[in-house]
Structure 1
Amino acid sequence: MMEAWVRFSAQSQARERLLRAAQYACTLAGAALSRSEDNSRILSRLQQLEAHLSLGRKLLRLGGSAEALGGAQRSLHLPDPVLRFCLTLSHLNRALFLACDNVLWAGKTGILQSLDTEKWSQRSFRYYLFALVVNLSRDVYEIRLLLERAETTKKRGKSPENNPHLQTESKIQRFQLHLQLQLRLLLRVLRENPPLFLDLLRNVCDLVIPLEKLGLCRSSPGVLGFCGFTSSVLSILTILHPWLKLKP
């Protein structure tokens, strides 16, 4: 157990994920405490702690753009054209997001005193949003491939369309049955592929954050904190257990 923790804490990405989980835990706690006016002092401390955690995360992400560009270069050699496109575009957007994040860190620490932090923050979240959309597109593509594979290998006595009893049913009933079968197959595919399921869940949770920051959707601080904390915990799981990380 101690060796696993030492390996985990030695990684800068792992430390950043821990800070991220703590940051959104503060957001979630602040949303719960904001219902009472007697907690204003605690709320103020939570907000200060959240700001310090955010700044610490930005420090740990310095130089991350080079790593993302390296990932984009490696993904150019993937044989699958869809995966090659999605992963390369995702890494490039992540590199731009981290570059903007580094500039924001310089502005918030006073190195770039005249920096328009709001402008750079919006720019950073736009690149983050693009990366998440591409990641979700990759997840959907992987799910479609697995569904097609499961449908072709599934042994059936008779398909529902060839059943004489079902032919007498209405189109709506047949459509409902088809949806039920597809949903069961989807759940089975996700259950048998934990890395894909965790990646999909993490990207969906993360998507709420840039959408909220860019004003494209409105959600409560509680929802924002819950989604950020959940995605952070899922990321920590993939670091602790590398087999849970979606590859390539």
Structure 2
Amino acid sequence: MRRSRRRTGSDAAVPGSVPGPAMEAWVRFSAQSQARERLLRAAQYACVLAGAALSRSGGSSGTLSRLQHLEAHLSLGRKLLRLGGSAEALGGAQRSLHLPDPVLRFCLTLSHLNRALFLACDNVLWAGRSGVLPGLATDKWSQRAFRYYLFALLVNLSRDAYEVRLLLERAEAARRRGRSPESSAGPRAEGRMQRLRLQLQLQLRLLLQVLRDNPPLLLDLLRNACDLVIPLERLGLCRSSPAVVGFCGLSSSVLSILTILHPWLKLKP
């Protein structure tokens, strides 16, 4: 005679059970080397931001020293995860050569090439700071790497501006098609400055609408703008406080993590 067995709460969580959607998303996320590098980057700039806050509030020198050491270790760990990334960047440059749009083809190819050079310098820096190349001039290689990084970001921002211009032109054309002839004439009694102000307001509303309707473009624009602060400060082209650098680095890292968790938020191509 078969005896029935009542399921308990512990039975539902037996080993080998199917994980939930959140656990599956975390497993997929943590399995990617880029995702792990982004997490380390977020932690690194969180240390920079925390150190700036502690130094402003008069924190102990021991705590600040520990944060600086942790930041240095996180930076070295990120460099280790980026070993071999130049080959991936070169592959991206090769793929972007086949894009039909000439502006996108130029911007993306140039961005991938500069990222490949930046990662190559970054690999040399890892070898120097890890002791593989003890006599390496790390300051020189760091400046060289940040120059390539800065140029890649400027090209990325140019690509974002081109995408915004295309979308603004389409939105303006759609607005004109939906406008009646009476409204297109507009009031003729308005002054020149008032008409200019109304035109600027209209362009601003169109810009906000375009960015709101295109989250991937908005996130890419914000991420590149935040990242731009870092090489500008490291190269001495724009002096900013460690708090600003930490906040911008942390913000761009969080935005990058969002695009990895939700691939539809990544700007394509």
TM-score normalised to structure 1 length: 0.97
Matched ranges for 1:95-244 at <5 A: 95-154=116-175, 155-158=178-181, 162-163=185-186, 165=187, 167-244=188-265
Amino acid in structure 2 at the alignment position of 1:27: V
- Which protein is bigger by CA-based radius of gyration? 2
1:136 corresponds to which letter in structure 2? L
User: Mind listing any 5+ residue stretches in structure 2 that lack a counterpart?
Assistant: 1-21
Compute the displacement of 1:39 (Å).
Answer: 2.0
Q: Aligned equivalents of 2:191 and 2:255: distance in 1?
A: 43
Q: Secondary structure at the match of 2:222?
A: helix
Per-residue CA shift, 1:84-134, capped at 9, x if unaligned?
000000000000000000000000011111110000000000000000000
Q: Residue 90 of structure 2 corresponds to which residue in structure 1?
A: 69
SS in 2 for 1:217: coil
Helix, strand or coil at the partner of 1:113: coil
Shift of 1:157: 2.4
Q: Spell out, residue by residue over 1:153-202, the C-alpha distance to the aligned partner (whole angstroms, 9 max, x if none).
A: 12112587622x3x222211111110000000000000000000000000
What are the equivalent positions in structure 2 for 1:78-89 lying under 5 Å apart?
78-89=99-110
**Secondary structure class of the residue paired with 1:34:** helix
> Match of 2:60, SS?
helix
Identity of aligned residues (%): 80
Q: Which residue of 2 aligns with 1:246?
A: 267
Which structure's residues are more often helix, by fraction?
1
Match of 2:42 among 17, 21, 28: 21
Mapped to 1, the partners of 2:29 and 2:258 lie a distance apart of 11
Pick closer, same or farther for the CA change 1:159–1:2 going to 2, 3 Å: farther
The residue type equivalent to 2:180 in the other structure is G
SS of structure 1 residue aligned to 2:56: coil
Tell me the alpha carbon deviations over residues 57-106 of structure 1, each in whole angstroms, 9 at most, x when there is no partner.
Answer: 00000000000000000000000000000000000000000000000000
| Residue 59 of structure 1: aligned partner | 80
- How many Å separate the matches in 1 of 2:106 and 2:56? 46
Cα RMSD (Å) of the superposition?
1.1
Map of 1:12 onto structure 2: 33
C-alpha distance in 1 between matches for 2:102 and 2:37: 32
The alignment covers a number of residue pairs equal to 246
The one-character-per-residue Cα deviations of 1:187-241 (angstroms, maximum 9, x if unpaired) are 0000000000000000000000000000000111000000000000000000000
Shift of the 189–38 alpha-carbon distance from structure 1 to 2, 3 Å rule, reads closer
Mapped to 2, the partners of 1:85 and 1:192 lie a distance apart of 26
SS at match of 2:65: helix
Query: Matched residue of 1:62: which SS?
Result: coil
When structure 1 is superposed on structure 2, of 152-161 and 45-54 the one drifting more is 152-161
Q: Distance in 2 between matches of 1:160 and 1:227?
A: 44
Q: CA deviation at 1:35?
A: 1.6
Distance 1:37 1:147 in 2: 48
